[in-house]
Amino acid sequence: MFGPFERAVAGRYLRARKGERFVSVIAIFSLVGIALGVATLIIVMSVMNGFKADLMGRILGLNGDLSLFGVTRTIGDYDDLAATVRQVPGVVNATPLIEGQALLNSGSYNAGGMVRGMSMQGLRDLHEVSDSLVAGSLDKFVGNDAIIIGVTLAERAGLSVGSKITLISPNGAATPFGTMPRIRAYHVVGIFDAGMNDYNVGYVFLPLAAAQIYFEMPGQVTQIQVMTQDPTNVRPVRQAIEQAVVGDPRVRVLDWTQSNNAFFGAVQVEQNVLFLILTLIVLVAAFNVISSLIMMVKDKTGDIAVLRTIGATRGAIMRIFLMCGASVGVTGTAIGTAIGIVFCLNIERIRQFLQSLTGTNLFNPEIYYLERLPAKLVWPQVFEVIGMALVLSLLATLYPSWRAARTDPVEALRHE
């Protein structure tokens, strides 16, 4: 499509000569604009993808892909029901547990929290906790006074392995003087770091037998938490479980798409809106390509007339200026892609460097839920950004190139 003649003339026009530097400066600004737009799009989309994937992994990792809840708040004969669920294809494990709220007290520290009662094997299967213990051991997660807490709670309350923490529940025994709160002290046998601040500060774990005693639910649980092989395709598994327990009126099944769908839907909408907004950066840079090419066509009117006179066709003239504009777009897109990918691969190091340089916390886990800045490069999305930038850049060259090809050599030489 582009012969040696067109490439040679286009390359000569792109190299600034004395008296033509202003047009070249505009072309450079256009190139920088496209590069920044592409890099920003790749970085923001990757951070949003990483945030969504990391958040989904942690939320589903602690809450399960789906759960079976008791219609009357509790479930009896839960071992048989859990065994039935484990036989369903696609189910990795099913863990009976008790979940309830309580006030966490240690000295002057008081805060509400979620108490979960699980068996030792159930806690081992909960890898977000069992694989992230920073102190203590799961082997001591036995008895009626053992508890495992999060690292942020331990720091705020000044607790360590062996310390005591008190759980206070308002659902106590009824007396002539009113309802007395249920109070019990437990020894810390482990401290975990789930990587999510809300869980590190607000969740504690008791052995299942201890939780049944504390919440006065002998032989009962509040739910059965189920992990599946593919959380993104959880609906068929939920339907299979519903079929397996269809004759049991005690339970109802709820998967994560039903309980957290609004939250993840909002993240997806935000990602789409950011993509559209940041695309405007590339669009503005494409308009700069149009303006620089129009100025180049005006500046090279005499050259175009001479070229037409010595035999260059309109198609050749159009291809020359298409190459000029396309070179700016392709180069800017390539530079922006490289910057974006390198930035995403080193984003946590860059954050730590800027944090040490400024002395401020640039990613507060109490606000952003996560304790590090995630980034996940989705290559189809990267190629989508590259394709969009190239298409906009090429479209920006069409009108100036068409104007250049329509230049009348007689009129141009007459005015020269």
pLDDT at 197: 79
C-alpha closest to that of 73 among 215, 264, 278, 271: 215
Largest Cα–Cα separation, the chain: 111
pLDDT digits (tens, 9 = 90+) for 214-254: 998 898 999 999 999 888 788 889 889 888 886 667 788 88
- What average pLDDT does range 71-89 have in this prediction? 87
pLDDT digits (tens, 9 = 90+) for 378-405: 899 899 999 999 998 888 888 888 888 8
Percentage of residues in the chain having pLDDT higher than 70 = 91
pLDDT digits (tens, 9 = 90+) for 126-169: 888 888 899 888 999 998 889 999 999 999 999 999 999 999 98
- How confident is the prediction for the chain on average, in pLDDT? 84
Question: What is the spatial distance between Cα 73 and Cα 33, in angstroms, rounded to a whole number?
Answer: 59
For the chain, domain boundaries: 4-58+263-414, 72-249
Angle at 68 between CA 255 and CA 369, to 5 degrees: 50
Q: Residue 52 pLDDT more than 90?
A: no
Question: What is the spatial distance between Cα 316 and Cα 304, in angstroms, rounded to a whole number?
Answer: 10
- What average pLDDT does range 184-207 have in this prediction? 90
